[in-house]
Each structure stands twice: as C-alpha cells, then as structure tokens.
C-alpha cells in the first residue's frame, strides 16, 4: 500500500515510459508521506473515450491523464497537498501533449479505511 492508478487517453499510449513514471511516483510517495516504494502498486489504464465539457471541439482535441493516489488515512492535509504537487510535477515532466492536441493533467489523493482494506497474495 499505497495504490496508484494512472488513467490516460488512448492517444497517449506509448508516448511515455510507464515503468519509469511508476518508479518515480513511488519515490515521490516515499519522500512526501514516508511509505516505502516497495509497498506501492501503480496500475496504468488506457481510456478509450472521454468527454470533456460539452464534448465539442475542445474535447475532440484534448487528451487527459489523471493520477489517483490512495493512502491509508492519517496524513495531514499539508502532506497530501505536497504529494499531489509532486505527482503533478512528475506527470508534467513525463506525459506530453501530442502535436496539435491539448493535455489536461489532474491528481487526487484519497484515503482508505485500513479496517476495510483487505489484500490477498497467493
């Protein structure tokens, strides 16, 4: 734990190094909230289609990448804000807009209830 999910528009597939981004996200988590990189799990999901605004011209030429970081509760608002800033900075560094297209990046830090978060490894 923590769990990270990177959702990104289909046109961005292959334009960034997912392994390097995942590794660097894990390091950012360690530096800002103290979780071990070995405890982090990052999943990448391609978005086949998204609608932005009214779905018109802006949506047709805009790609998105959204990173969700889920942590156990207990971090301060300041620590979560610092993590969000670090994650956004990494995304801006690693995920680039394609020629003639716009890119919207976003980050959200969420909390999980440790009592109801279960895992299993076989």
**pLDDT of 16 strictly over 80:** yes
pLDDT attached to residue 57: 60
pLDDT attached to residue 54: 77
Q: Are 31 and 73 in contact (CB under 8 A)?
A: no
Q: In the block, which residue shows the tokens 């909390």?
A: 111
pLDDT attached to residue 59: 61
pLDDT in tens, 17-41: 999 999 999 999 999 999 999 999 9
pLDDT attached to residue 49: 86
pLDDT bin (cut points 50, 70, 90) of residue 110 is very high
Q: Please state, in angstroms and rounded to a whole number, the distance separating the CA atoms of residues 91 and 122.
A: 33
pLDDT in tens, 53-91: 777 665 678 999 999 999 999 999 999 999 999 999 999
> Which residues, at least 6 apart from 112, have a Cβ–Cβ distance to it below 8 Å?
1, 3, 70, 71, 72, 73
Query: What six digits make up the tokens of 16?
Result: 């960034």
Q: Are 5 and 45 in contact (CB under 8 A)?
A: yes
């Amino acid at each position: 734990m923590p769990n990270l999910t990177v959702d990104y528009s289909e046109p961005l597939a292959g334009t960034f190094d997912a392994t390097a981004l995942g590794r660097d996200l894990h390091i950012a988590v360690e530096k800002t909230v103290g979780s071990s990189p070995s405890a982090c799990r990052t999943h990448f999901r391609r978005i086949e289609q998204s609608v932005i605004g009214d779905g018109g011209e802006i949506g047709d030429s805009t790609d998105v990448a959204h990173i969700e970081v889920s942590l156990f509760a207990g971090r301060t608002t300041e620590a979560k804000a610092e993590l969000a800033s670090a994650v956004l900075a990494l995304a801006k560094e690693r995920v680039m807009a394609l020629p003639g297209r716009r890119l919207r990046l976003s980050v959200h830090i969420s909390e999980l209830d440790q009592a109801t978060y279960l895992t299993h490894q076989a």
